[in-house]
Structure 1
Amino acid sequence: MAAVAELKKRTRRDYKYMLDYRTRWIDNDMYDHMNNSVYYYLFDSVVNTYLIQHCGLHPPTSPEIGLVVHSHCDYFGPLGFPAVADLCLRVNKLGKSSVTYEIGVFEQGSEEARAVGEFVHVFVGRENRRPGVNGMGTALREGLAKLTVDAQAKL
């Protein structure tokens, strides 16, 4: 992952997909900002929305599933109810069976990233929980390649 100072400079233009999220009263904690655990919920939501809508993933029946093997978040500013968040997504690394996502969280109307997270999936067979011999399926790879910031990504 990039250095924290570099992450803090991220803008929406650094990402290739965006999903908005209307915060809820329950997202706030006793300090009147969104609880840290909610950020991870948002990371999971934007990643899986993209996988379902653009990569052909159908979580209840797809032959392969993504297991989260790593997640991380750097927080730069508070966000809380009743804000609307822009969840911005890109792929920093596309491997044979793994993908490293970066998620920028912005408050609508503000250009400063409130948080930047990293989320790593390893795609495995639903039944055996092992990566496939040929890695992830073609539809997943092609969909994820559209988000990659690495010009060297191979299909």
Structure 2
Amino acid sequence: MALEALKARRRSDYPFQLEYRTRWSDNDMYHHLNNSVYYYLFDSVVNTFLIQHCSLHPPTSSTIGLVVHSHCDYLGPIEFPALVDLALRVNKLGKSSVTYEIGVFERGQDDVKAVGEFIHVFVDRETRRPHEAGMGEQLKRGLEELLPHKARL
């Protein structure tokens, strides 16, 4: 996606949001959130949604999501202390895979600070292969709620 389009993202572009309060240890030697913290945040918002809205229980579920791709475009710094809104949407929903987009916003500021992409492939826990029928219906229905409105029509 073009960088200009990502920079134009607003909280309202994302159906699900999760609050995160930064910690002192999130900062790196340059006095802003370390790059690895963003990936921790991506994983947290995605899995919170899956647990709360798709009935996925990672420790016991026979279906698990494997991350096959991730990246982040950093658009502005965040530093401790800050309250951050992690905003989640689905850009593509396949038979066994989902492409998430995560916007990272600092509370009280309108400009998106980072936009990440995270791709899960849902597979059988034992075989690590996608189910022939794809992801389960309950999982797919939950993820459909994160598609932009026009994509759901």
- Sort the TM-score into its range (normalised by shorter chain): over 0.9
Tell me the equivalent position of 1:133. Answer: 132
In 2, Cα distance between the equivalents of 1:73 and 1:150? 24
1:30-52 C-alpha deviation (Å, 9 max, x unpaired)? 01000000000000000000000
Where 1:60 maps in the other structure, the secondary structure is: coil
Task: Answer yes or no: is the 8 Å Cα contact 1:93–1:150 preserved in 2.
Answer: no
Match of 2:15 in 1: 16
Q: Is 1:87–2:79 an aligned residue pair?
A: no
Structure 1 residues 150 and 123: alpha-carbon distance in aligned structure 2, compared to 1, 3 A threshold: farther
Q: Distance in 1 between matches of 2:120 and 2:7?
A: 23
TM-superposed CA distance for 1:151, in Å, is: 4.1
Q: CA deviation at 1:13?
A: 0.7
Q: How does the TM-score come out when normalised to structure 1?
A: 0.96
SS of corresponding position for 1:72: strand
Distance 1:65 1:81 in 2: 33
Question: How high is the sequence identity, in percent, across the aligned residues?
Answer: 68
Contact 1:94 1:153 in 2 (8 A): no
Are positions 1:61 and 2:60 aligned together?
A: yes
- CA deviation string 1:50-82 (max 9, x = no partner): 000000000000010000000010001000111
1:153 deviates by 5.4
**Could you tell me how far apart the structure 2 residues matched to 1:151 and 1:121 are?**
22
Distance in structure 1 (CA, Å) of the matches to 2:134 and 2:57? 18
Secondary structure at the aligned position of 1:117 is classed as: strand
The answer for the alignment partner of 2:37 in structure 1 is 38
Gapped runs of 5+ residues in structure 2? none
CA distance in 1, matches of 2:130, 2:22: 36
Which whole-Å deviations, capped at 9, do the CAs of 1:115-154 have from their partners, x for residues lacking one?
0000000000001000000100111100000001274559
Q: Gaps spanning 5+ residues in structure 1: where?
A: none
Q: TM-score of the superposition, structure 2-length normalised?
A: 0.97
Q: Distance in 1 between matches of 2:67 and 2:77?
A: 25
* Number of corresponding residues: 153
Task: Point out 4+ residue stretches in structure 1 off by more than 2 angstroms.
Answer: 150-154
1:69-113 per-position Cα deviation (integer Å, ceiling 9, x unaligned): 000100010001110100000000000000000000000000000
